[in-house]
Amino acid sequence: MAALRRKFGEDYQVVNTNRATTFSAPVKKKRQRFVDKNGRCNVQHGNLGGETSRYLSDLFTTLVDLKWRWNLLIFILTYTIAWLVMASMWWVIAYIRGDLNHGHDSSYTPCVANVYNFPSAFLFFIETEATIGYGYRYITEKCPEGIILFLFQSLLGSIVDAFLIGCMFIKMSQPKKRAETLMFSQDAVISQRDGKLCLMFRVGNLRNSHMVSAQIRCKLIKSRQTPEGEFLPLDQCELDVGFGTGADQLFLVSPLTICHEINPKSPFFDLSQRSLMNEQFEIVVILEGIVETTGMTCQARTSYTEDEVLWGHRFLPVMSLEEGFFRVDYSQFHSTFEVPTPPYSVKEHEEKNSLPSPMSTPIPAITESHSARRDRVFSVDCINSSDERAGIGGRLPSKLQRMSSSGKEDLQRKVLLLSSQHSEKACSTGDLPLKLQRLSSSSPVPEAENRLQLKSLKVGFEPMTQSTGDLYQHSLQPTLSPAPVLAHRPQPSSGGRPEDNLPAKLRKMNADR
């Protein structure tokens, strides 16, 4: 079995075909966290080499960062060694001067009175250092070296007291324990809020004292590889929790739900419910603020791994209105419930919405060749519009314009009739009544304004199912093939017939009619 595991790896398992024995699914191995739930960072610095001397250069911070047991040990050892050293120096002075041999001689003046041995020298130092002053042991004026040692003892004692007591005070007043009363939810959830997919978690403050200027930040810890092939282990990416809108500034008097909107700028843009099972990431949450009672900055941390992110869940409400106050039920602080949430990612949702709908796709128009468009039937409206653009309508007399507009509907019916019979006829002023032709030719207008632009229209083959509206739509297409402009000849002298002023082709058509 060991050989098989060495060959195929540690995940190799033997499958037993015996139906009487059942095997459970392999449990997913819990991976190492970067930051624990209590905020402790799982990072150890090793192989510092010669860089350890940097810790001694900042000795005060080094002592403050040590654990309590090491601080107490250093505190006790420092005072004990200092007392023993100073007591030994007083004993050495008494020994050199010979005070130990004349301890009970009343006529002899020693350096320090009533110091006979080392214990008595040690008691003298403690009485002096602690300023107890029993009055039994005291220094005399006959000992200048004792006076110098006394000054040195006072200075050294003040320095040691300031250093060690300061370290203990700073360590005791650190706001790390204040972070114990700042709560984070055990799990983070992903659900919709205001129609947008959001990553949410909850924070709370157990104390009545407020956190001044509370601010929250989120970091995504995830290994990745750059396009250049560089591997970045534990790469840190910022998660927006309302930095642009000011939502990251918290008024933390009651539990709040922090929301990160998943949008194209979010690293979770392509995260779906299925891909969440295969992802490996860690979300580090950092809450900072000033403790109201001490004025010191406090920081609380926690983290959420991919196993602690629940898709399609929402937090239970914990606020309730009582008589005269709001009540917070912290027993439901970590509770969640399921809500309908789409299982796909925001990227897939946007791609789905960007696809054109079959109902909104316009029906392509029937394309026609250039030759077929040239044989398209035009209605009288198109003729009138083209004539107006050419300036013909304004040149006709007012009576002729009124008569032309009154016979518009008749001419439209004529065009439809001609198109149904698949015939081709030339449309000119010869189709107008003779009376109108005479009025048109005998109107006293200048020669430059008597020119009429006649456009021949071919009536092509059209299906019988087309309506007048279809013909009107086809008439809007630029398929009109203008004929050469025929100008009126100047009127002859009075006495001739009006028909003689028409071109030869029109006179022939009138004669045939």
pLDDT in tens, 51-89: 777 888 888 888 888 888 999 999 999 999 999 999 999
pLDDT, residue 413, reads: 62
Minimum mean pLDDT among 220-229, 284-293, 489-498: which range? 489-498
More confident residue, 134 or 360: 134
Which is nearest to 205 in space by CA: 230, 183, 190?
183
pLDDT, residue 29, reads: 61
Q: Is 11 helix (H, G, I), strand (E, B) or coil?
A: coil
pLDDT, residue 324, reads: 87
Which is nearest to 260 in space by CA: 221, 217, 303, 300?
217
Q: How confident is the model at residue 116 (pLDDT cuts 50, 70, 90)?
A: confident
Examine the pLDDT at 464 and tell me if it is beyond 70: no
Which is nearest to 283 in space by CA: 189, 211, 218?
218
pLDDT, residue 313, reads: 95
pLDDT, residue 194, reads: 92
Tokens of 23: 């095997």
Helix axes 434-442, 398-406, angle to 10 degrees: 160
% of the chain at pLDDT higher than 70: 65
% of the chain at pLDDT higher than 90: 33
Q: How confident is the model at residue 347 (pLDDT cuts 50, 70, 90)?
A: very high
Which is nearest to 201 in space by CA: 334, 82, 73?
334
More confident residue, 392 or 87: 87
Q: How confident is the model at residue 398 (pLDDT cuts 50, 70, 90)?
A: low
Residue 509 near residue 428, CB atoms below 8 Å = yes
pLDDT, residue 327, reads: 92
pLDDT, residue 117, reads: 87
Examine the pLDDT at 8 and tell me if it is beyond 60: no
More confident residue, 492 or 28: 28
pLDDT, residue 447, reads: 43
Question: What average pLDDT score do residues 351-366 get?
Answer: 62
Rounded to two decimals, the pTM is: 0.57
Q: In 38-58, which positions are buried (b, 16+ CB within 10 angstroms) versus exposed (e)?
A: ebeeeeeeeeeeeeeeeeeee
Q: How confident is the model at residue 357 (pLDDT cuts 50, 70, 90)?
A: low
Residues 6+ apart with CB under 8 A from 99: 108, 110, 111, 112, 115
pLDDT, residue 370, reads: 44
More confident residue, 512 or 278: 278
pLDDT digits (tens, 9 = 90+) for 174-213: 887 888 899 999 999 999 999 999 999 999 999 988 899 9
Strands 188-193, 282-291: pairing kind:
unpaired
Within 10 angstroms of residue 104's Cβ, the number of other Cβ atoms is: 8
Amino acid found at 347: K
Examine the pLDDT at 366 and tell me if it is beyond 50: no
Tokens of 83: 């007392």
User: Rounded CA gap, 361 and 214, in Å?
Assistant: 53
Within 10 angstroms of residue 314's Cβ, the number of other Cβ atoms is: 18
Residue 191 near residue 313, CB atoms below 8 Å = yes
Q: In 175-214, which positions are buried (b, 16+ CB within 10 angstroms) versus exposed (e)?
A: beebbeebbbbebbbbbeeeeebbbbbbbbbeeeebbeeb
Minimum mean pLDDT among 297-306, 333-342, 444-453: which range? 444-453
Examine the pLDDT at 135 and tell me if it is beyond 70: yes
Examine the pLDDT at 238 and tell me if it is beyond 50: yes
Residue 289 near residue 245, CB atoms below 8 Å = no
Residues 6+ apart with CB under 8 A from 421: none
pLDDT, residue 408, reads: 53
Q: How confident is the model at residue 272 (pLDDT cuts 50, 70, 90)?
A: very high
Q: How confident is the model at residue 282 (pLDDT cuts 50, 70, 90)?
A: very high
What is the average pLDDT score of the chain?
74
